[in-house]
Amino acid sequence: MFRHTFRALSHRAFRRYFIGQGVSQTGNWIQQVVLSWLAYENSGSALWLGLVVAAGQAPLLLAPLGGLLADRHDRRRLLLISHGLGLLVACWLIVLSLTGSPGLPALLLASLALGGINALEMPVRHAFIANLVGGTELLSNAVALNSLVFNGARLIGPPLAGVLFAAFGAPLCFALNALSYVAALHSLLRIRGGRRIAPDGKACLRQSFDWLRTTRPARWLLFTATLTSISLTPVMTLLPVYAQDIFDVGPTGLGQLLGASGIGALAATLWLAARRTPLRLEVSMTGGALLFGLSCIGFASNQIFWLACLLLAVGGASLVAVTTSSTTLLQWLVPDALRGRIMALHGMFYLGSMPFGSLLAGAIAERWSVPMAFMTGGATMLALTVLLAVQLPRLAREIEQTRRKAMAAA
């Protein structure tokens, strides 16, 4: 089954990129866990935790500008700039943590800066994949392997963060993230060749909106990304509260909870990477929405730690089934000339919805309870499942028709 899982790594440029991003994403997860833990530890408030998380997500509303840059300028150079800026923020956090625990204003500022950097990097990173694998034959596999990088880091980074933070404190965690940026910069500097897509100096955002207006499947994929993002935020935002107040397992337990989610996500990513074509991924997307909704509701009703890890593993797998399937289908549909801008809009809808979701989750947890926030996210995904199931036959036909038209015009 997994004979074709890693076929995109046959391209040397993509292989170097894959390794560098794997190291960098692991460092980012370590830093993200530590920032979330410090925010809740310093404030004792789920709402403050939501504010710090939202500060890192709010700048992602500017992602379309990053997509415009990706279609106008050299994508490799833009990635070098974004990784360099991320390295500076990591070094600043090292200094702050060595001179004392960073206060809430510093945590907010760091999250805001990292969110701005990610707004630039995210659409460029997605568009850059097409430069590396040379055409659409390996594109779906490269997209799945890109998700594998993220979810593999999600499996390794949080448990490692919990152990290192408990044993050595924040400075070492931030230092490891800084070193991971150095590794990513090194891999980008070594990338030569790959199929280059000529930048379009006349690219504008209106072209992407015109394409979306005439491409109904793409609009549904963006809608799916938005609701999934809002439903995901209780898990991403409020797990530190569960770790400290409900399970009483500390930062090590928080890392284990996130790591369990990463195991499920990694398994689902490998399954998706083994597929030879993106056909029928809309079915995986709908099934994943159903399982994710059920796992969130089950998690909210549970107070047993090992069962919580199992439910998060199911949730991680089903989340990947939704997000990676929708991203792959969108990459498969979009023309190369619009790739940066369309993937930026996808990122804006998915990641840019998280500030609203984080604030909503924090407010629900503050007003009612943390489990109620998880229940709300699960119910939203179940509603999305019903909508996708109703639209599924028509959506599948339109995806295939859109792709055939694009191939005929190429």
Integer Cα distance of 54 and 357 in angstroms: 8
Integer Cα distance of 349 and 221 in angstroms: 10
The two structure tokens encoding residue 392:
């599924």
Integer Cα distance of 115 and 234 in angstroms: 18
What pLDDT sits at residue 404? 65
Residues 6+ apart with CB under 8 A from 31: 90, 93, 161, 173, 174, 177
What's the pLDDT tens digit per position in 254-291? 778 877 887 888 788 777 776 665 556 777 888 888 99
pTM equals: 0.69
What pLDDT sits at residue 136? 57
- Chain centre distance of CA 256: 19
DSSP string over 52-94: HHHHHHGGGGGHHHHHHHHHHS-HHHHHHHHHHHHHHHHHHHH
Do residues 11 and 138 touch, judged by C-beta distance below 8 A? Answer: yes
Strand residue runs (E) in 225-345: none
What pLDDT sits at residue 181? 92
Residues 6+ apart with CB under 8 A from 363: 47, 50
So where are the chain's domains?
7-409
Q: Which amino acid is at 317?
A: A
Give ∠ CA 260-24-114 in degrees, rounded to 5: 95
Q: Which residues of the chain have pLDDT under 50?
A: 1, 194-195
DSSP string over 154-196: HHHHHHHHHHHHHHH-HHHHHHHHHHHHHHHHHHHHH---S-P
Architecture of the domain spanning 7-409: Up-down Bundle (1.20)
What's the pLDDT tens digit per position in 316-370? 888 888 888 888 888 777 777 777 778 778 877 877 677 777 777 778 877 888 7
What pLDDT sits at residue 185? 92
What pLDDT sits at residue 220? 86
